[in-house]
């Protein structure tokens, strides 16, 4: 290896002192530091030469340097729009009521309007006393009207909440439609 290929420790110290003297003669040292990879200017550093190990290389602020502008930032990733699910909206509809309130055409018109308005749930409240007039005696006409309402509602893709009301007199000793049955098993069957 040639004698210039390697600096001895004393020569390195001499070079460091010479560089330090040059910088000291120029006045206080204020460094503009640059990131070695992107060459973007980092916050200014003032202090002793070599006392900040966080930057890769530094240039004194008085040194004539022209650096290329940093590249533009990468565009943000494209957002994929996702539609939030519609909140469940419900309406109460006495669909099972017959004439003079509703015909099948009238029921269909009301259900179509509910669907168009964004309703997703329909609440129906048939009366137990209306469906079962005596123990085990079912009113077939009223059950058929309720079946028609359920089928028409489901054909439109609407969900149903069925709430039974009105206890028949035979189930509670004729205490009134708002009084629960004497024997809960009558309602369960």
Edge-to-edge strand ranges of the sheet holding 159-162: 90-92, 121-124, 159-162
Rounded Cα distance between 60 and 47, Å, is: 11
Comparing 58-62, 64-68, 144-148, 172-176, the range with the smallest average pLDDT is 58-62
DSSP β-bridge partners for residue 124? 162
- Which residue is associated with the tokens 């035979």? 170
**Mean pLDDT of all residues in 65-71:** 69
DSSP summary character for residue 123: E
Give pLDDT tens digits for 153-169: 999 999 999 998 999 99
Q: Quick check: 64 pLDDT over 90?
A: no
Q: What pairs with residue 90 in β-bridges?
A: 121
Instruction: Name which residue leads in pLDDT, 57 or 179.
Output: 179
Total-model pTM: 0.53
pLDDT at 48 > cutoff 60: no
Contact status, residue 171 vs residue 181, Cβ threshold 8 Å? yes
As a whole number of angstroms, the distance between CA 183 and CA 148 comes to 30
CA distance 42 to 59: 11
Average pLDDT of the residues in 143-152: 94
Q: Pick the more confident residue, 83 or 7.
A: 83
Q: Decide if 160 contacts 154 (C-beta within 8 A).
A: yes
Report the chain's C-alpha Rg in angstroms: 44
**Separation between Cα atoms, residue 82 and residue 186, nearest integer Å:** 49
pLDDT of 2 reads 45
What is the structure's pLDDT at 157? Answer: 95
What integer is the mean pLDDT of 51-69? Answer: 55
E strand segments, 23-158 = 30-34, 45-46, 57-60, 90-92, 121-124, 132-134, 137-138
């Amino acid at each position: 290896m040639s004698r210039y290929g390697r600096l001895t420790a004393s020569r390195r110290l001499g070079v460091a002192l010479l560089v330090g003297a040059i910088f000291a003669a120029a006045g206080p040292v204020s460094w503009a530091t640059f990131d070695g990879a992107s060459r973007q200017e980092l916050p200014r550093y003032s202090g002793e030469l070599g006392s900040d190990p966080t930057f890769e290389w530094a240039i004194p602020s008085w040194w004539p340097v022209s650096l290329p502008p940093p590249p533009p930032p990468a565009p943000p990733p494209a957002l994929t729009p996702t539609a939030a699910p519609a909140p469940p909206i419900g309406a109460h509809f006495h669909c099972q009521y017959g004439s003079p309130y509703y015909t099948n055409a009238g029921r269909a018109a009301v259900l179509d309007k509910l669907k168009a308005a964004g309703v997703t749930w329909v609440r129906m409240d048939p009366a137990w006393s209306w469906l079962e007039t005596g123990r085990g005696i079912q009113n077939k006409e009223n059950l058929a009207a309720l079946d028609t309402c359920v089928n028409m509602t489901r054909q439109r893709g609407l969900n149903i909440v069925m709430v039974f009301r009105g206890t028949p007199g035979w189930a509670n000793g004729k205490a009134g439609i708002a009084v629960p049955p004497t024997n809960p098993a009558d309602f369960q069957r």
